[in-house]
Amino acid sequence: MTARGLTAPPIFLFTDFGGDGPYVGQLKAAIHGIAPTLAVVDLCHDVAPFQVRPAAHLLAALLPYLPAGACVVAVVDPGVGTARRGVLLEADGFRLVGPDNGLLAIVAQRAKHAIWHYLPEPAAWGSATFHGRDWFGPVAARLQDGQHIDLRPADDQDQPEGMSWSTDWNRIIYIDGYGNAMTGLRADGFGVEDVLLLRDAVEIRHARTFEEALPGEPFWFANSCGLAELAVNRGHAARQLGLAVGQRFDIRRHAHAGQGTT
């Protein structure tokens, strides 16, 4: 509970754990054991396993749709158990807890106000291979519950990983269950006459909605998270176009300023 007696904003979970198996449940149990009144919400658990940079762009696109004051436990962490650090990012009224591997970096770069903190070392009793359950989840629970955590502020000489990454990225970052492929480019940097170019010079033109394209026709559109997304009307774009997370594409622009695609 907050000081005013109101329930604290929820914790959202963003992981590559997948929907099956015990891992999401264990993470929720660890949070519940510390702060049983907090709501815990599944944001996304099917991001591409181990692929940190695509996940960083997806997380940044999803964050603006969460309630003010929310905390995100973000775990895409192929380096779990190594010397990589744990971080807390405070960004425009949100808190994000996760590994220092770039996963939170795009959020930080796009934020108007971003403050980084390094987490205290994980408890000695915890697992070296499940920091989501034994480190990040508990830290988030304590923070949202108003408990004290010994944090160390980051300084200019010791910045977290990923802060040199471009905030827009001409790669596929997520493929949903329909086969639609989100990109790491924000759609507001495009014009409707711009064309996306896949390997072998496949040209993907814009449509505002699915029904503006013919059945079986590929197109790109501005999706509900503000990203440029590839789709096929009544089809499966990933199969039809041979798409995969991390795949690069090019852009043919129609005489207007573009975005970075490093």
Residue 99 and residue 26 share a domain: yes
> Angle 95-86-173 (CA atoms, 0-180°, nearest 5)?
70
Domain presence at residue 174? yes
CB of 75 within 8 A of CB of 101?
no
Rounded percentage of the chain residues whose pLDDT exceeds 70: 95
Residue 90 and residue 142 share a domain: yes
Number of domains in the chain: 2
- Examine the fold and report which residue of 153, 179, 212 is the final residue of a domain before the chain moves on: 153
Domain that holds residue 186: 169-252
CB of 218 within 8 A of CB of 163?
no
Q: pLDDT tens for residues 50-75?
A: 999 999 999 999 999 999 999 999 99
Residue 24 and residue 137 share a domain: yes
pLDDT reported for residue 155: 87
Residue 63 and residue 146 share a domain: yes
CB of 196 within 8 A of CB of 155?
no
The CATH number covering residue 123 comes to: 3.40.50.10790
Residue 143 and residue 73 share a domain: yes
Q: pLDDT tens for residues 107-146?
A: 999 999 999 999 999 999 999 999 999 999 999 999 999 9
CB of 117 within 8 A of CB of 152?
yes
Residue 143 and residue 106 share a domain: yes
Res. 252: pLDDT tops 90: yes
Residue 131 and residue 24 share a domain: yes
